Amino acid sequence: MQTIEGLLLDPDGRPIADATLSIVSATAPVPDIAMMTDRGGRFFLDEMPEGRFRLRVTPPGGGGRTVEFTVPRPDGRLRLQLDR
């Protein structure tokens, strides 16, 4: 199990606050996971099992995308930057 520390940024590199993130699929069993970014665009995924995951990212105002990532991560970090 690994805790992932994440950061969500807009296309200009500024943190995105109050975005919704949710795991939409996984190769390992996980409970329904949904969270919001804090004022600094940070989020945490606690006790993630090893595997491959798809994370849906929805910023305030809509839009967004789905990203894939794997656990374990060498540094325990996940940096996401949205496209224009």
pLDDT tens-digit series, residues 32-47: 788 999 999 999 998 8
Q: Which residues, including other chains, have CB under 8 Å from residue 19's CB and lie 6 or more apart?
A: 8, 36, 37, 41, 57, 58, 59, 60, 64
User: Where residue 18 falls among pLDDT bands split at 50, 70, 90?
Assistant: very high
pTM attached to this predicted model: 0.89
- Beta partners for residue 42, in sequence order: 7
Give the pLDDT score at 71: 92
Domain regions of the chain by residue span? 2-75
- Beta partners for residue 15, in sequence order: 9
Handedness of CA 62, 65, 71, 73 (dihedral sign): negative
Say if domain 2-75 classifies as CATH 2.60.40.1120.
Answer: yes
Strands (E) located in 1-84? 2-9, 20-26, 34-36, 42-48, 51-58, 65-71, 77-81
